[in-house]
Amino acid sequence: MLIKRAQMFKASEITDPTLYFNRREFMVGAAALALFPRGAEAAAPPAGQPLKATRNTAFSLSDPATKFESATTYNNFYEFGVDKGDPSRLAHTLKPRPWTVQVDGHVAKPKTYDIDELLKLFPLEERVYALRCVEGWSMVIPWIGFPLASLLKRVEPTGQAKFVEFTTLMDPEQFPAQRKSVLNLSPIEWPYVEGLRLDEAMHPLALLTVGMYGQVLPNQNGAPIRVVLPWKYGFKSAKSIVRIRLVSSQPKSTWEKAAPNEYGFFSNVNPEVDHPRWSQASERRIGEFLRRKTLKFNGYADQIASLYAGMDLRKYY
């Protein structure tokens, strides 16, 4: 038997710790691959329909943006599978038109909006946000959208509204990992659900996003509409949203249900609170070789820290 010493391995031969420890999730990916065999490495998606927006410099980083090819081929979107390349390979199954978003719950004016109606209702702006993944990598992306608060104010939340719940599309024909053959192996309950406190949702940084890099949002990045919350870990930014519901009690999010000891409701980027299986003190920005120090609230502390004044962020992780 041949035993390789550590120095004999190439970096590309070493199993990603995330995949090793998440063996059940790896099985989900394997089942998805059985349904959709892997072809050649994913090529950069072609440019989509242009989407005009005005740059909001007050909410934009000066950091260079991650390459479009990386941002659209290295993604977490578990409805397509757990491998980072699954979304770009399989996202052609998603049909972003026609599409509606139901906004209801504790509101005075509930309404179901057509996605194109939303694009006409609110001025679009471009914001360059950093988005950090709980697995330790990050990207800088020029997102296009409008403040979530603009939509919430339009439906007029009542005094009973304390939280906002987001629900992603449930359709196994469009999302292969939601199929029964995969569901039996998965720790995840579909549809994907996320939530925010109402004051978090009303913060100007919370962006309902319909595009990126000057074009309509690609399927693999959450088309046709997602939320982007740059001070929280990426899994909080729900994709392909079909319902936004204002509720009185804290919603139970998908990852809280799957692994409550690992994924809390708030999920603010915090280098002082480690994931049970790895440190959060540093990160690797896609396109860079060296790791960098993780910033509290992902660098947005000046704008966002007041929301959590007096809270024990180790307890409310």
pLDDT classification of 44: cutoffs 50, 70, 90: low
Per-residue pLDDT, 34: 42
Q: Which two tokens stand for residue 196?
A: 């925010």
Residues of the chain above pLDDT 90, percent:
81
- Residues contacting residue 91 through CB under 8 Å, at least 6 positions apart: 77, 80, 218, 219, 220, 223
Residue 45 backbone phi and psi in degrees, to 5:
-60, 150
Q: In 103-137, which positions are buried (b, 16+ CB within 10 angstroms) versus exposed (e)? A: bebbbeeeeebebeebbeebebbbbbbbbbbbbbb
Per-residue pLDDT, 3: 36
pTM of this structure: 0.86
Residue 237 backbone phi and psi in degrees, to 5:
-85, 85
Per-residue pLDDT, 154: 98
pLDDT mean across residues, the chain? 88
| 126-185 pLDDT per residue, tens | 999 999 999 999 999 999 999 999 999 999 999 999 999 999 999 999 999 998 766 555
For residue 62, the tally of other CB atoms under 10 A from its CB is 7
Per-residue pLDDT, 187: 75
| 294-305 pLDDT per residue, tens | 999 999 999 999
- The answer to whether 149 and 206 are in contact (CB under 8 A) is yes
| 223-267 pLDDT per residue, tens | 999 999 999 999 999 999 999 999 999 999 999 999 999 999 999
Region of poorest pLDDT, from 5-14, 70-79, 234-243, 265-274:
5-14
Q: Which two tokens stand for residue 290?
A: 């060296």
pLDDT classification of 17: cutoffs 50, 70, 90: very low
Flag whether pLDDT at 122 surpasses 60.
Answer: yes
Hey, where are the domains in the chain?
7-308
Per-residue pLDDT, 43: 52
91/36: higher pLDDT:
91
β-pair type (54-55, 125-132):
parallel
Per-residue pLDDT, 47: 67
**C-alpha to C-alpha distances, 113 to 5, 54, 120, 126, 247, nearest whole angstrom:** 59, 23, 11, 22, 19
**C-alpha to C-alpha distances, 64 to 80, 142, 285, 291, 301, nearest whole angstrom:** 29, 10, 11, 16, 20
| 74-83 pLDDT per residue, tens | 999 999 999 9
- Residues contacting residue 210 through CB under 8 Å, at least 6 positions apart: 51, 115, 118, 119, 124, 144, 145, 146, 216, 217, 224, 225
285/2: higher pLDDT:
285
Flag whether pLDDT at 190 surpasses 90.
Answer: yes
Q: Which CATH class is domain 7-308?
A: alpha beta
Per-residue pLDDT, 11: 38
pLDDT classification of 188: cutoffs 50, 70, 90: confident
* DSSP H helical ranges for the chain: 17-21, 23-35, 68-71, 86-90, 115-121, 148-155, 180-183, 198-201, 254-258, 301-304
pLDDT classification of 207: cutoffs 50, 70, 90: very high
Q: In 253-284, which positions are buried (b, 16+ CB within 10 angstroms) versus exposed (e)? A: bbbbebeeeebbbbbbbbbebebeeeebeebe
